[in-house]
């Protein structure tokens, strides 16, 4: 957790820098988003700003989230405890502790600023592939962690784990409350057009 705190300090600095770059952006860079008060048009953000008006006020005062994304909870637990979380209540609690730490840190950042920091369960298809290369070079091939070409998205169940849709959703539901900025979820299944009750059960 002390190492995680150090990394989160860097993430906070980077996210703040990115968010603050919006403060001086003028509405005319994207009329579709910010509208145009000179013709009474509203943009997708619900505002009608003058073309030369700065857009910062739309995003400050906690109006829009600044996302702290992450990948690799599965690999983190595997690296720390040499086992997977699935069907392991003790390790699920370890995973929840990490996620809770991320969430409480983002909430602290939010309370200390005008930006609405929030944890986002990232669908980072490019990022998870980009990270694995440098880690392979640095740490070598570690079974289940760097011996493949990806890290697991967000809090997802490992794609190599055998589980049906309900089991996958039940597992991932352990972590949803720690990602208030959003979360991705997916399952693979056969056509459910002839079984709408199964579709409804999965949705619920």
For residues 201 and 47, what is the distance between their CA atoms, to the nearest angstrom? 39
Tokens for 3? 């190492």
Residue-level pLDDT at 126: 75
Nearest CA to 121 out of 95, 146, 145, 149 is that of: 95
For residues 15 and 113, what is the distance between their CA atoms, to the nearest angstrom? 12
pTM of the model: 0.88
How large is the average pLDDT for residues 57-76? 90
Looking at the chain, the whole-number percentage of residues with pLDDT higher than 70 is 100
Q: Count how many residues are written for the chain.
A: 204
List Cβ neighbours of 163 (8 Å cut-off, separation of 6 or more): 86, 157, 171
């Amino acid at each position: 957790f002390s190492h995680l705190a150090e990394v989160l300090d860097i993430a906070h600095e980077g996210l703040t820098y990115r968010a603050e770059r919006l403060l001086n952006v003028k509405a005319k860079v994207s009329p579709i988003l910010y509208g145009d008060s000179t013709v009474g048009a509203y943009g997708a953000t619900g505002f009608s700003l003058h073309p030369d008006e700065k857009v910062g006020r739309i995003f400050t005062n906690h109006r829009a989230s600044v996302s702290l994304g992450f990948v690799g909870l599965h690999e983190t637990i595997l690296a720390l405890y040499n086992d997977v979380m699935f069907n392991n209540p003790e390790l699920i609690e370890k995973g929840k502790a990490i996620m809770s730490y991320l969430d409480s840190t983002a909430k602290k950042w939010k309370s200390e600023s005008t930006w609405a920091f929030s944890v986002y369960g990232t669908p980072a298809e490019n990022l998870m592939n980009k990270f694995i290369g440098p880690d392979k070079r640095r740490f070598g091939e570690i079974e289940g962690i760097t011996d493949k070409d990806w890290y697991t998205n967000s809090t997802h169940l490992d794609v190599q784990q055998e589980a049906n849709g309900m089991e996958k959703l039940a597992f991932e539901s352990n972590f949803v409350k720690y990602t208030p900025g959003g979360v991705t979820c997916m399952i693979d299944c056969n056509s459910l057009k002839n079984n709408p009750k199964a579709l409804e059960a999965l949705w619920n």
